Amino acid sequence: SKTVSKCYVQVTGMTCASCVANIERNLRREDGIHSILVALMAGKAEVRYNPAVIQPAAIAELIRELGFGATVMENCGEGDGILELVVRGMTCASCVHKIESTLMKTNGVLYCSVALATNKAHIKYDPEAIGPRDVIQVIQDLGFTTSLVKKDRSASHLDHKQEIRQWKRSFVVSLVFCIPVMGLMIYMMVMDSQLSDAHAHHNMSTEEMEALHSSMVLEYQLLPGLSVMNFLSFLFCVPVQVFGGWHFYIQASRALRHSTANMDVLVVLATSIAFLYSSIILLVAMAERAKVNPVTFFDTPPMLFVFISLGRWLEHVAKGKTSEALARLISLQATEATIVTLGPDNVLLSEEQVDVELVQRGDIVKVVPGGKFPVDGRVIEGHSMVDESLITGEAMPVTKKPGNTVIAGSINQNGSLLISATHVGADTTLSQIVKLVEEAQTSKAPIQQFADKLSGYFVPFIVAVSVVTLFAWIIIGFVDFEIVEKYFLGYNKSISAAEVIIRFAFQASITVLCIACPCSLGLA
């Protein structure tokens, strides 16, 4: 008897169904090759050959001679079918053993495990030798009822609606509170520049400067040390920090729990520190009843959150668009198939409706006019026109006669066809497309992986730099106080030199954090 082995060849450079036909036609003529099945979307050929006559490497070489790229795939496990079943009526461990042992004895079943608690059976089988219906039949013959685990066809895991909603809300909240803060800031800048102009022209004394300064509405102190400007900024900042930053905090805590640092950690660090520092400085100023209002960073968190939540929102909207397309693709799949048994001379003996997942390779499927093709296959009998626009985009129907291939999901128009299933389940063209789109969505672009890797180093690096800045200024301050005095605005003799140095050092280091946070790398 001839032994038959099976190998898989990855084929590149196939563009259409004629390439597939070309490869299949030419290889069938070769000695030692029993059968060949090529899947266009998966770019994969399944070859059954006689190892005494020909080897996989030679098969790949034959395909290469036809002008395609071909490599033998090592992991041949890809051809195994996997079946998840719900089994009802099991009462004890012996039922489980009975099912498992019977299935393992069945020709074509490679692996089987049954869980009593969940009533589920997980089975791996060789689609050449056996199919899902045969397996179900075996279990039913033992006296149990079984059914397929229903797959979620709605593609709900691809739904980005909730994220879109949450980031949009995040963005709107941040924006509403950010605008007044920015307005206040711009107003302050304008007034400041007018003041410095006045100072330049009129050589005012410092006392007059102070008087002009305090005459500004925003610098008016509600309580000693608490100006209107700082009070309003604080009020606007709190809701942003809580509502706008909510998701960032959740994500950052998750990242830190896995001891990684991502963008969220940096955002949370910068905004929290800016917010806390500003609040503490205000409290200190109030406690000291300071004449000069401290420099606060309340404008940082709202602006950061606005930019970053806008970015996230747009990103999810874009993802949602692709997912919609994918959900539509998935909805094109037929749900049921009519399987027929043929007698001699292609006489119909019987037909039954089954779930599309139960169609096995080699089954004869009947497709009525107006019906969808449930699986990829070859026409055996009948003539018809088929609308294949879902794959080819071609609006004109294509004529199908015995020997032609048909694609799952395309629509049969005027004649009834009998087809023999060649690719079923996850191997159909449509399933392959869905799988490709899903993979494209889940996998990251190389540049994005690089950016993520960088921000892994970037975050600790920035934190380190700001800490270095803090200590550097403290040291400089205690060595040469005059440098600090020159740069520290609103220094009045009522505060001790040490405190001035500490405050200035903190300001410098927080500035480093806040500026590095919305860096172009992170936003991009």
Ramachandran category for residue 290: left, alpha or beta (phi over 0 → left; psi -120 to 50 → alpha): beta
Per-residue pLDDT, 374: 92
Task: Name the helix (H) or strand (E) containing 486.
Answer: helix 481-487
For residue 17, give both structure tokens: 């169904």
The answer to whether the predicted template modeling score (pTM) of the entire model surpasses 0.85 is: no
Q: Comparing C-alpha atoms, which of 429, 329, 413 is closest to residue 377?
A: 429
Per-residue pLDDT, 160: 72
Phi, psi of 75 (to 5 degrees): -80, 105
| Cβ contact 366:421 at 8 Å | no
Chain Cα centroid distance, residue 23: 36
| Cβ contact 44:38 at 8 Å | yes
Q: Are residues 242 and 286 in the same domain?
A: yes
Asked if residue 436 is part of any domain, the answer here is no
For residue 397, give both structure tokens: 């129907």
**Which one of 277, 310, 332 terminates a domain?**
332
Q: Are residues 323 and 236 in the same domain?
A: yes
Q: Are residues 175 and 37 in the same domain?
A: no
Q: Are residues 318 and 260 in the same domain?
A: yes
Q: Are residues 374 and 312 in the same domain?
A: no
Chain Cα centroid distance, residue 508: 38
Half-sphere exposure of 488 (CA within 13 A, CB side): 25
Length of the chain: 524
pLDDT band, residue 376 (cuts 50/70/90): very high
Per-residue pLDDT, 382: 92
Q: How many other CB atoms are there within 10 angstroms of residue 118's CB atom? A: 9
d(CA 43, CA 8): 10
- Which SS3 state, helix, strand or coil, does residue 106 take? coil
User: Long-range pairs for 74-77 at CB < 8 Å and ≥24 separation?
Assistant: 76/6, 76/7, 76/8
Q: Are residues 347 and 395 in the same domain?
A: yes
**Which one of 380, 395, 430 terminates a domain?**
430
Q: What DSSP letter does each residue of 110-173 carry, written as one string?
A: EEEEEETTTTEEEEEE-TTT--HHHHHHHHHHTT-EEEEPPP-TT-GGG--HHHHHHHHHHHHH
pLDDT band, residue 394 (cuts 50/70/90): confident
| Cβ contact 29:37 at 8 Å | no
For residue 424, give both structure tokens: 């079923």
Task: Report the CATH number that the domain containing residue 371 is assigned in CATH.
Answer: 2.70.150.10
Q: Are residues 304 and 184 in the same domain?
A: yes
Task: Report the CATH number that the domain containing residue 93 is assigned in CATH.
Answer: 3.30.70.100
Asked if residue 242 is part of any domain, the answer here is yes
d(CA 330, CA 159): 13
Residue 369 has pLDDT above 90, yes or no: yes
For residue 211, give both structure tokens: 């008087």
For residue 164, give both structure tokens: 């879109």
What are the start-end ranges of the H helices in 161-244? 161-202, 206-215, 228-239
* Residue 318 domain boundaries: 153-332
pLDDT band, residue 297 (cuts 50/70/90): confident
**Which one of 332, 356, 391 terminates a domain?**
332
- Strand runs (DSSP E) across 336-410, as ranges? 336-342, 348-355, 364-367, 376-381, 384-387, 398-400, 405-406
pLDDT tens string 50-94: 888 898 899 999 999 988 889 988 765 556 778 888 898 888 888
DSSP state of 297: -
pLDDT band, residue 420 (cuts 50/70/90): very high
Share in percent of the chain as helix, strand, coil (round to 5): 55, 20, 25
Asked if residue 297 is part of any domain, the answer here is yes
Asked if residue 253 is part of any domain, the answer here is yes
| Cβ contact 201:258 at 8 Å | no
Q: Which of 212-221, 293-302, 410-419 has the highest mean pLDDT?
A: 410-419
| Cβ contact 354:337 at 8 Å | yes
For the chain, report the end-to-end CA distance as a whole number of angstroms. 63
Determine what percent of the chain is predicted with pLDDT higher than 90. Answer: 13
Q: Are residues 194 and 113 in the same domain?
A: no
Angle between helices 446-479 and 263-288 (to 10 degrees): 30
pLDDT tens string 227-264: 777 888 888 888 888 887 888 888 888 778 776 666 67
Asked if residue 440 is part of any domain, the answer here is no
Q: Are residues 342 and 402 in the same domain?
A: yes
Ramachandran category for residue 346: left, alpha or beta (phi over 0 → left; psi -120 to 50 → alpha): left
Phi, psi of 297 (to 5 degrees): -115, 30
d(CA 145, CA 137): 10
d(CA 358, CA 291): 82
Asked if residue 122 is part of any domain, the answer here is yes
Q: Are residues 266 and 162 in the same domain?
A: yes
The whole-number average pLDDT for the span 196-213 is 62
pLDDT band, residue 416 (cuts 50/70/90): very high
The whole-number average pLDDT for the span 159-164 is 77
Per-residue pLDDT, 481: 76
331 Cβ contact list (under 8 Å, min separation 6): 153
User: In a 10 Å sphere around its CB, with 0-12 CB exposed, 13-18 middle and 19+ buried, how is residue 151 labelled?
Assistant: exposed
Per-residue pLDDT, 79: 61
pLDDT band, residue 361 (cuts 50/70/90): confident
Q: Are residues 189 and 265 in the same domain?
A: yes
Per-residue pLDDT, 2: 62
Q: How many other CB atoms are there within 10 angstroms of residue 15's CB atom? A: 9
Asked if residue 439 is part of any domain, the answer here is no
Per-residue pLDDT, 386: 93
Asked if residue 437 is part of any domain, the answer here is no
Q: How many other CB atoms are there within 10 angstroms of residue 156's CB atom? A: 10
Structural domains of the chain, count: 5
Phi, psi of 376 (to 5 degrees): -75, 145
Q: Are residues 327 and 241 in the same domain?
A: yes
| Cβ contact 76:8 at 8 Å | yes
DSSP state of 41: T
Per-residue pLDDT, 12: 87
342 Cβ contact list (under 8 Å, min separation 6): 348, 349, 364, 418
Q: Comparing C-alpha atoms, which of 417, 440, 430, 432 is closest to residue 370?
A: 417
